[in-house]
Structure 1
Amino acid sequence: MNPADAPILISPNEIIAAHKSIDEIFLNTPVLNHPDIDAALGCTVTMKLETFNPIRSFKGRGTEAVIARLNGQPNGVTTMSTGNFGQGIARAARRRNMDSTIFVPEDANPLKVEAMRRLGADVRLVPLEEGDGMDHARRFAVETGAALIEDGGDRNIAAGAGGIALELSEAGIEPDVIVIQVGDGALAAGIGSWIRAHHPRTRIVGVAPEGAQAMAQSYARGHVVLGSRIDTIADGMGTLNPFEISVHQLRACLDDLVLLDDHSMVRAGKLLFNATGLLAEAAGAAGLATIAVHPHLFAGKSVVTIITGSNFSPEFKRLVLDD
């Protein structure tokens, strides 16, 4: 199918096929309920935990799905990432004996940079004045023949992420509301597409950071609005240059898209840690934070949120653990 002719939403068959192509270590992740969290937030919260895998992030799903489609050709792949997506690409490529070259903003979380290198990637830091690194990846792909992978711009990545919703369905979980973090949009596009097809009564709420509003503004206006800065502790949700297809997918999937400040994510991280002993990164705690900040959307309801990752920065760890 020509990408230009593809439907906006990801089909259930695409999600099922992607799910079958993913390393099982990323699949059938646990769900967790906790009475202290329910009491604090005024609703029944089911958390889908995407942190117990080799890269500690849901990104392993989409990266497995997209690289599996390459069938080992070409020999190399390239992309831009601030960390979690790059880790997924590096691991999926190494698993298939492929090279990976990842362009990373020079202010990226150093722990994530080191993790990408440890997983076999050639990591190239990009000065901030030269953008987020995607232009570098595109040039590298043209010069070397490496396959260019653009998170948010490839429906196979969204289909891989959609397996989270497939697993919720298989577990018999049909919430009143589901909260989905919005960065480049692939997570919300995949999960939202499955929910729209199988649980149309479930309300879908997206959350984006106040310090990186390009995607939220694009969603509101119905066309791409380029960002000028990323200033948020939730580096996994920072997007400067949204893809047009992602904007249309979000408008087809979401019922609401709300903004969230960094302090609220810190408070949610504290709640999660104090109740469960789990330490998520800022983006991972964003769903819980959304419920706390916008209680009128969730009061008394059954709610699902995704703990998307636990590759926390030293700063976020300090803020969460600081009494």
Structure 2
Amino acid sequence: MTPITESQIARARALIDPIFLGSPIVRQTGLDAALGCSLALKAETLNPIRSFKGRGTEALMASLTNRPTHVVATSSGNFGQGLARAATTRGVRATIFSGEDDNPGKLEAMRQLGAELRLVPRGGNAKALARDMAAKAGALYIEDGAHPEIAAGAGTIGMELAMQCGALDAVLVQIGDGALISGVGSWIKATSPKTRVIGVTATGAPSFRASLKAGKPLGISPDTIADGMAIDLPIASSVDAVAAIVDDVIEVDDEAILDAMALLLGSASLVAEPSGAAGVAAIMQNRKMFGGLKIAAIVTGGNVRPELLAQAAGRADDRASRATVRRAEWDSAAAL
């Protein structure tokens, strides 16, 4: 049995604000040629928070029978945006604990969506502070990855992939807290068991990968540009859920992620934050594994730091320049 059932995902879909549903599939012949496979990209960046996280936060807040007056959570940005929007549109106060050096754009977006931010110095225990505040204020503490409604909301992406793409050889899914792959993987395994569900982690965030190997949560401090995957200690139930549906896990380093961001920008005009490009990075680092296959990957978010976007744009320009030189050389050789 999958961790999240088809009925749970179907119920979640009925609760989610439609603005987060039905995200498009992007296909580009240039991407297929560069990667050596047939790639369907699920673009989760064309919604009010430019991230898939709105699906899970909508599903959770809409499912609460005893609606709280105040919710508290931790987030580096995308989950906090989703929770802030889902809470404040329902008249619920939202307080988010974030790192003081988190992406400034994401911090400001949370504020604009109505969240009260509490910034925690580097090395501080944001989760402990958030739990303590929730207990003292009588608020509901919400932890991303701990609520099945969040995974079910994310699972609607799997439902849509099945409808939009048909049979697939593999689906690549980023692993951060585990909710996304638990939900997507549950739908895929229930409806297309031959399709491989492959998790993607950042090399600089090995905690979840190590926890899967050990069969229990292991805490390891992350160091990666992929802040959406920078988990230091996964939840035990999330480790179990991911282990039940994942076929393989691939790790990608920051250089590969930047190259993938550049490829998406140059070949598909898609702006992806580092975590959002991780699925494509996994294909770039493992071309033989995916050669000739029908693959789906999820661009999970587009809230990228300006300096990282500039680096990706520079790499995209370099890639285009090299391609122009190669074409000129081919044309010259053909003319001889």
1:4 aligned residue: none
Between the aligned partners of 1:114 and 1:281, the Cα distance in structure 2 is: 16
Give the conservation status (yes or no) of the 8 Å contact 1:168–1:174. Answer: no
Between the aligned partners of 1:260 and 1:120, the Cα distance in structure 2 is: 34
Give 5+ residue unaligned stretches, structure 2.
Answer: 318-336
Q: Within 5 Å, give how 1:202-217 maps onto structure 2.
A: 202-217=195-210
Task: After the TM superposition, list the runs of 4 or more consecutive aligned residues in structure 1 that deviate by more than 4 angstroms.
Answer: none
2:263 aligned residue: 271
Q: Within 5 Å, give how 1:175-214 maps onto structure 2.
A: 175-214=168-207
Matched, 1:50 2:44: yes
Give per-residue Cα distances to partners, 1:29-48, cap 9 Å, x unaligned. 10011000000000000000
Give per-residue Cα distances to partners, 1:60-116, cap 9 Å, x unaligned. 000101111224621111100000000000000111011000000122101100000
1:236 aligned residue: 228
Give the conservation status (yes or no) of the 8 Å contact 2:25–2:164. Answer: no
Between the aligned partners of 1:58 and 1:129, the Cα distance in structure 2 is: 27
Matched, 1:149 2:149: no
- Normalising to structure 2: TM-score of the pair? 0.92
1:225 aligned residue: 218
Question: Identity rate of aligned residues, in percent?
Answer: 45
* Equivalent of 2:297 in 289, 305, 314: 305
1:162 aligned residue: 155
Count of aligned pairs: 315
Cα offset, 1:52, TM superposition: 0.2
Secondary structure of the residue aligned to 1:100 is strand
Cα offset, 1:170, TM superposition: 2.4
Q: Within 5 Å, give how 1:26-175 maps onto structure 2.
A: 26-71=20-65, 73-131=67-125, 133-175=126-168
* Equivalent of 2:253 in 258, 261, 266: 261
Between the aligned partners of 2:67 and 2:152, the Cα distance in structure 1 is: 21
2:278 aligned residue: 286
RMSD: 1.1
Give the conservation status (yes or no) of the 8 Å contact 1:11–1:194. Answer: yes
- Normalising to structure 1: TM-score of the pair? 0.95
2:326 aligned residue: none
Between the aligned partners of 1:72 and 1:292, the Cα distance in structure 2 is: 47
Give the conservation status (yes or no) of the 8 Å contact 1:41–1:295. Answer: yes
Give per-residue Cα distances to partners, 1:169-192, cap 9 Å, x unaligned. 223522101000000000000000
Q: Which moved more, 1:232-241 or 1:72-81?
A: 72-81
Give per-residue Cα distances to partners, 1:104-138, cap 9 Å, x unaligned. 0122101100000000000000112222x111111
Secondary structure of the residue aligned to 2:68 is coil
Give 5+ residue unaligned stretches, structure 1.
Answer: 1-6
Cα offset, 1:276, TM superposition: 1.6
Give the conservation status (yes or no) of the 8 Å contact 1:72–1:96. Answer: no
Between the aligned partners of 2:295 and 2:162, the Cα distance in structure 1 is: 14
Between the aligned partners of 1:315 and 1:211, the Cα distance in structure 2 is: 19
Rg (Cα) greater in structure: 2
Amino acid at match of 2:164: A
Give the conservation status (yes or no) of the 8 Å contact 1:210–1:261. Answer: yes
Between the aligned partners of 1:52 and 1:244, the Cα distance in structure 2 is: 32
